[in-house]
Amino acid sequence: MMQTFYSPAKINLFLRVLSRRLDGYHQIASLFQTINLHDLLHISFAEEDLLTCDDPSIPIDRSNLVLKAVALFKHKTALSFGIRIHLEKLIPKEAGLGGGSSNAATTLWALNQLCGCPVEEKDLLSWASEIGSDIPFFFSHGTAYCTGRGEIVRCLPMLPKLTFWLVKPNQGLSTQMIFNKLDLNHRLIADDPETILSGFFSGKPSYLNDLERPAFEICPFLVEVKSKLLEAGFHTVSMTGSGSAFFCIGNPVELPSFVKTMFHKQLTFTSRLSNQWYQQKV
Ligand code: C5P
């Protein structure tokens, strides 16, 4: 029997990069939030493992985080089975929306359910960091403060729901390239991340992202996109993760016409209940 699992995107309401680590990663501090833009994973047991995807530009070999999650789950639990997964992609890639990471987290959750819950969620969360820094976050309830490489997850209460526009310029950005380009001596933001974090819970949010600067250096077109969105009447336009998508808050009279040539959608925050995965509506 085939089952369908909802795999939400995330945005980073703020993201500070604190230092470069000896292992090549960066120490970050970021407020992550799931949003109601999602992929779908259609999963059933099968003779052999097989991943398919409706988007031909997504690799479906072992480099895909979904298959990495399948291999990780089998390795950790020592269970053996075959699984067929069809991925229906709606989250833009190379956008900073965590699509691949969410797919991996959803795969881990789904396999555990389909195998009769042999392990606890906290085990899935800790294993997840072995295949990607952003995957553990999705085992929160949808709002979390993430530190370390991103894999240390502090679950937080839901924030007041906010409606925003997501705009994804056609050029995508590679996370690794953006982190490599970041000059830690030239960050605009010096604020303490815990202070920024508390601002979101006391009605004084600061939407900041240290990765905007390197992204703008690599892709100057993004500077133009951001300033046109601000001119149109949004009071906040902030890049999510390593880009290239922006979330835009405010009430412009009209969306600027160039946005219509890009992926754009009005969205809101989402969350999940304890012992359930994310669903279409909560
Ligand atoms: O962990 P993940 O595989 O998603 O990271 C992709 C790349 O992004 C890493 O290889 C690294 O170059 C960069 N990265 C980083 N610091 C982080 C997270 C990711 O430098 N905290």
Look at residue 10 and tell me whether its pLDDT is greater than 80: yes
Give the model's pLDDT for residue 47.
96
Q: Residues 6 or more apart from 53 whose CB is under 8 A from it?
A: 60, 86, 87, 88, 89
Number of residues written out for the chain: 282
What pLDDT, in 10s, does the model give residues 187-224?
666 789 999 999 999 999 999 999 999 999 999 999 99
Give the model's pLDDT for residue 186.
77
Whole-structure pTM value: 0.97
The response to whether residue 28 sits with its C-beta less than 6 Å from ligand 1 reads yes
Give the model's pLDDT for residue 191.
81
Give the model's pLDDT for residue 163.
97
The pLDDT-based confidence of 282 (bands split at 50, 70, 90) is low
Q: Whose CA is nearest to atom 13 of ligand 1?
A: 176
CA distance 43 to 108: 12
The response to whether residue 132 sits with its C-beta less than 6 Å from ligand 1 reads yes
CA distance 140 to 152: 11
Q: What is the separation of C-alpha 126 from the centre of its chain, rounded to a whole number of angstroms?
A: 17
The type of residue at 53 is C
Look at residue 75 and tell me whether its pLDDT is greater than 60: yes
Give the model's pLDDT for residue 189.
63
Give the model's pLDDT for residue 277.
98
Give the model's pLDDT for residue 197.
98
How buried is 64 (Cβ within 10 angstroms: 0-12 exposed, 13-18 middle, 19+ buried)?
buried
CA distance 82 to 74: 10
The share of the chain scoring above pLDDT 70, in percent, equals: 98
The type of residue at 114 is L
Q: Whose CA is nearest to atom 3 of ligand 1?
A: 132
Pocket test for ligand 1, best of 19, 133, 135, 180 (most atoms within 8 A of CB): 133
Look at residue 90 and tell me whether its pLDDT is greater than 60: yes
Give the model's pLDDT for residue 280.
82
What pLDDT, in 10s, does the model give residues 16-67?
999 999 999 999 999 999 999 999 999 999 999 999 999 999 999 999 999 9
For β-strands 50-53 and 82-88, DSSP reports them as: parallel
Q: How far is the CA of 190 from the centre of ligand 1 (A)?
A: 22
The response to whether residue 149 sits with its C-beta less than 6 Å from ligand 1 reads yes
CA distance 181 to 215: 8
CA distance 46 to 191: 51
Q: Are 88 and 7 in contact (CB under 8 A)?
A: no
The response to whether residue 168 sits with its C-beta less than 6 Å from ligand 1 reads no
Q: How far is the CA of 149 from the centre of ligand 1 (A)?
A: 7
The share of the chain scoring above pLDDT 90, in percent, equals: 95
The response to whether residue 258 sits with its C-beta less than 6 Å from ligand 1 reads no
What pLDDT, in 10s, does the model give residues 51-62?
999 999 999 999
What pLDDT, in 10s, does the model give residues 230-274?
999 999 999 999 999 999 999 999 999 999 999 999 999 999 999
Helices 121-128 and 99-114 meet at what angle, rounded to 10? Answer: 140
Pocket test for ligand 1, best of 25, 97, 127, 151 (most atoms within 8 A of CB): 25
- Active-site residues, by number, are 10, 134
